Amino acid sequence: MDVIIKAMPFLLTGVLQTLKITLIAVSLGCILGLFGGMGRLSNNRFIRGLATCYVDFIRGTPLLVQLFIIYFGLPQVVQSFKELLEVYFSLGPFSSTSHIPPFIAAVAACSINSGAYVSEIFRAGIQSIEKGQREAALSLGMTPRQAMRYIILPQAFRRIVPPLGNEFIAMLKDTSLLICIGYAELTRQGQLIIADTFRPFEIWFAVALLYLIMTLTISRLVDFTERRLGINGHHQS
């Protein structure tokens, strides 16, 4: 117990980093997901195909591989591009290093990954709205864009709150993969403490407990939001 008490300040620092990455990633993922979901429903074949390729590639590959592509692979591409500019366009000289900070790589990978899943959430939410709603809006003189903004999306948002909550929880747990690039989230902090204390059972148990507390808290917040929005049989007071 003493080792857990002594380690708790460091673990709580990891909790804050985990929550920060998750909040940023899901927020940016919602922006990407909104455009991706609407792109999947677009009448333009190019836009629809582009959105479909993005969603299929991200959902069909592991987040860990995506993280490695960004953290280890992109610097190689950037360096090759610099050499191309120096050799063929006589530009430069450029710095010989193209390191991507772990925080930037973490945000980029998690946001892009979350965006693909949120795209499907938005698409399903929009498609769940009866077609008559859009037709009624158009008959009242609204443009298709106005109908989407003022009629369809507000109703769709109410229906996608539960799956968005699930996506937040899933991303929170997936941030543990950031240990592979040395980012100091909760799992990485636990690993560092174990290397110093040689007490893996107590520390990993404390890490698991902190994850459980976070996920249960978020689940309760999602349930509260559902009740306030009158979802699943609840009616707003």
In residues, how long is the chain? 237
Domain-located, residue 233: no
Domain-located, residue 133: yes
**Neighbouring residues of 224: CB distance < 8 A, sequence distance ≥ 6:** none
Alpha-helical runs (H) found in 70-185:
74-89, 102-127, 131-139, 144-147, 153-174
Using alpha carbons, select from 63, 25, 57 the residue that is nearest to residue 179. Answer: 63
Domain-located, residue 235: no
Domain-located, residue 177: yes
Tens digit of each residue's pLDDT (9 = 90 or more) over 172-226:
999 999 999 999 999 999 999 999 999 999 999 999 999 999 999 999 999 998 8
The total number of structural domains that make up the chain: 1
Counting beta carbons within 10 angstroms of the beta carbon of residue 87, is it exposed (0 to 12), middle (13 to 18) or buried (19 or more)? exposed
Domain-located, residue 162: yes
Within 10 A of 27 (CB to CB), how many other CB atoms are there?
12
Domain-located, residue 199: yes
Domain-located, residue 152: yes
**Full residue range of the structural domain in which residue 200 is found:** 2-228
Question: What would the two tokens of residue 215 be?
Answer: 């996920």
Q: Is the pTM of this model over 0.85?
A: yes
CATH at residue 203: 1.10.3720.10
Interior/surface letters 119-133, b for 16+ CB within 10 angstroms, e for the rest: bbbbbebbeebeeee
Tens digit of each residue's pLDDT (9 = 90 or more) over 25-40:
999 999 999 999 999 9
Domain-located, residue 169: yes
